[in-house]
Amino acid sequence: WSDLAEKGAQLAAVCDVDAAKARAAGETFRVPYYLDAAKMLEAERLDVADIVTRHDTHRPLAEMALARGLATIVQKPFASTWEDCIAIVEAAQKANAWLAVHENFRFQAPMRAVRKVIDSGAIGTPSWARIRFRTGFDVYKTQPYFYDEEQLAIADVGIHMLDLSRFFLGEVEHISCETQKRNPRIRAEDTATMLLRHQ
């Protein structure tokens, strides 16, 4: 949000259930901080709520923000269950509020440049692509709860890869997937190989 300040964005407040993190964020960004989202929504005049919490908290927080008619951005994965996803969308429709899923790689400058080349026709109609993602970033250090997640690679990074494939090649009509668990310390898969057939 700080990067968008010159375009008019202004961070109004922050909220975290961890008091130390809430205070640190409030002091860093010089904004009020809260430990309770309902109290923040009641006290502050907001235009947008950006929900950057664990996916199992997305539905109640999104419904709370949307009930106030706030434009709402929800981190991926959108929710823990299909039913929760539907409920969030229905809450947005009921409130006639703008709703988006955050962290789409498709909006990054390099990915938009690839899409521009595809749209130009310079390479013809793409019929095949390989999209891979590997990182040395220690996700467990910043998100230690990943050790106990029931689903990991697909829910965390796979979502981005699936969305990029749709962005570059269109909607998908068939998918197959093989997962592996290489890190013995985690509960879920940490590798996924997905094969998609696009429309």
114 lies in the same domain as 179? yes
Question: What secondary structure does DSSP assign to 109-171, as a single string?
Answer: HHHHHHHHHHHHTTT-S-------------HHHH-GGGGG-SS-HIIIIIHHHHHHHHHHH--
**Cα Dmax for the chain:** 54
Whether the predicted pLDDT of 44 surpasses 80: yes
> Token pair for residue 98?
């703008």
**Judging by beta carbons within 10 Å of its beta carbon (0-12, 13-18, 19+), is residue 61 exposed, middle or buried?**
buried
Q: Both ends of the chain: CA-CA distance in Å?
A: 36
Last residue of a domain, one of 75, 101, 127: 101
80 and 52, same domain (yes or no) = yes
Predicted TM-score (pTM) of the model is: 0.80
Mean of per-residue pLDDT scores for the chain: 94
**Residues 97, 114 share a domain:** no
93 and 169: one domain? no
Residue 48: name the closest of 81, 15, 17, 12 by CA.
12
Question: Is there a single domain that holds both residue 95 and residue 110?
Answer: no
pLDDT surpassing 90 at residue 142: no
**Residues 95 and 151 both lie in one domain:** no
Q: Which domain holds residue 14?
A: 2-101
Q: 188 and 132 share a domain?
A: yes
| 87-122 pLDDT per residue, tens | 999 999 999 999 999 877 898 999 999 999 999 999
- For residues 130 and 41, membership in a common domain is answered with no
Residues 87 and 123 in one domain: no
C-beta of residue 104 within 8 angstroms of C-beta of residue 160: yes
Task: Please indicate, yes or no, whether residues 8 and 97 belong to a single structural domain of this protein.
Answer: yes
Whether residue 80 is found in the same domain as residue 160: no
Could you say which of 48, 77, 101 is where a domain stops? 101
Summarised one tens digit per residue, pLDDT across range 145-189 is 889 988 888 888 898 999 999 999 999 999 999 999 999 999 999
CATH code of the domain containing 12: 3.40.50.720
**Last residue of some domain: 81, 101, 121?**
101
Domains in the chain, number: 2
Strand partners, 48: 71
As given in the structure block, the two tokens for residue 29 are 């960004």
Shared-domain flag, residues 166 and 142: yes
Q: How far is CA 137 from CA 21, 66, 98, 162, 166, in A?
A: 22, 34, 33, 20, 25
Residue 101: how many CB atoms within 10 A of its CB?
A: 17
